[in-house]
Chains A and B, each alone.
Chain A
């Protein structure tokens, strides 16, 4: 297939094949969906420790003062008051308030920023940021300089500590540079699983060496995108292209706490108008009454059979042993514990509206 040949490959592509991974196209990249099996890899992450190849994510470096560079206007979370060596999650919006991407900004130095964006949107994001930065700044796309391995799970600190003893001092959303197998690299205490974990940005050509070093430890196993999706859904994290896109604003997506209306940012006027008029829809958690899962683009019906919304992501949740999902419903229908149905007109399954956080006992803040 033509699409196969044009897919990008991470520095761990050969390592995935050697582990018999099932490879799939994801956001323009050829990525491992699973190795041993999604449920086993899920369990490994929740109970022990797993490593994920996240090298498809885009990374940029911007130099300049937060305000003078224009960067503060590009993202919705506040940057100027961030302590150096911390990071913040937020969004980048278009003028209409739609979400161009979600991202994490790391403050490397007072006037140096590291931005991590989604793999599928890297080029679009780079163009948007460049266009909106002022001349008092520099921009560099370092996506293909850096591989990225996430190590996640309750044992991740102990395992990483053996290679980089100082990581134990990192609090949630803190990062620093550490010596790791002879390379001075950025390690951040963040992740996408709801468990204690770290994201490691490693030189592209040497990423395979680090991957193999982790796998020498029999407490560590690789996990693929399939497990990652179940893990993130159980803790209600958004996935760009599902709960976020250019037609979805961060307020209806439940991300208001990452939007700072005390500063100027692209899309602010549009968001203020939307707030004034009242939002049309709101993101909700959906929990099935049984093992059948809501699936992306399933319709959501009220108890009285009125179509009130749609599902954006869904999966079987091992922690609640039922189907779970996220979706949008018309405002007025977002109250929790309301009985709903998901599916289509012919085949509906009963469910409840619930909190987006289905799994609450993770090791995230241990």
Chain B
């Protein structure tokens, strides 16, 4: 069973978001997502200053076998990206919730978190989607 971190919020596309304070969040992909993708070999990061819309593409992740789009859990402006992923994309496999974070975002609408799942809801979602 994939690991689901308690204090995070989740999307149906298996991204997570950590509410760092009332203006900034950190985003990444869940343990379940990295398990499904297998060995990650390339991450196309967003650019600093990119304006993101909730549930629209923020990054692209490639595993040995395939390329996958990653969608932003919330709207806002990219203020930091995890440059380490450029040389070591496998950090997402090893540590999806810590060292494998993708970007930090200055959010434009805190209420958007109501569209996301809690850890408990995400766990149920994983079970029900089999």
Contacts and interface: CB of A to CB of B under 8 A. Distances in A.
B65 interface: yes
A312 to B, nearest CB: 15
B49 interface: no
B65 A38 contact: yes
B64 interface: yes
Interface stretch (A50-58, A121-129, A253-261, A285-293): A285-293
Main SS at interface, chain A = mixed
A196 interface: no
Nearest to B41: A316
- Give the contact-size bracket for chain A: 10 to 19
B42 A226 contact: no
A34 interface: yes
Given A39-B64, A315-B64, A316-B62, A34 B42 contact: no
A316 B67 CA distance: 11
A165 interface: no
A38 B44 contact: no
B38 A226 contact: yes
B38 A34 contact: yes
Contacts of B38: 34, 37-38, 226
Contacts of A148: none
A292 B44 contact: yes
Nearest to A321: B41
A292 B64 contact: no
B66 interface: yes
Contacts of B90: 39
A108 to B, nearest CB: 37
Contact of B42 (A38, A230, A293): A293
A39 B39 contact: yes
Nearest to B64: A38
Interface residues of B, number: 12
Contacts of A38: 38-39, 64-65
A290 B42 contact: yes
A317 to B, nearest CB: 9
B89 interface: yes
A39 B38 CA distance: 9
A309 interface: no
Contacts of B65: 33, 38, 226, 315
A246 to B, nearest CB: 26
Interface string A184-212: 00000000000000000000000000000
B64 A323 contact: no
Contacts of A230: 64
Contacts of B67: 292-293, 295
B64 A226 contact: yes
Q: Indicate the member of A34, A230, A292 with the most B CB atoms within 10 Å.
A: A292
B64 A291 contact: no
A38 B93 CA distance: 13
Nearest to A40: B39
Given A38-B64, A226-B65, A230-B64, A323 B39 contact: no
B64 A316 contact: yes
A315 B39 CA distance: 12
Nearest to B87: A291
A291 B41 contact: yes
B42 A323 contact: yes
Contacts of B39: 37-39
Nearest to A295: B67
B66 A295 contact: yes
A35 to B, nearest CB: 11
A295 B89 CA distance: 18
A230 B38 CA distance: 14
Interface string B14-46: 000000000000000000000000110110100
A292 B25 CA distance: 27
A316 B66 contact: no
Interface in A276-306: 290-293, 295
21 contacts: A33-B65, A34-B38, A38-B39, A38-B64, A38-B65, A39-B39, A39-B41, A39-B90, A226-B38, A226-B64, A290-B42, A291-B62, A292-B62, A293-B42, A293-B67, A315-B64, A315-B65, A316-B41, A316-B42, A323-B42, A323-B62
- Sorted nearest first, the 10 A-B pairs with minimum C-beta distance are A316-B41, A291-B42, A39-B39, A38-B64, A292-B42, A38-B39, A316-B64, A37-B39, A315-B64, A38-B38
Interface of B: 38-39, 41-42, 44, 62, 64-67, 89-90
Given A37-B39, A292-B62, 5 more contacts: A39-B41, A39-B90, A291-B41, A293-B62, A295-B67
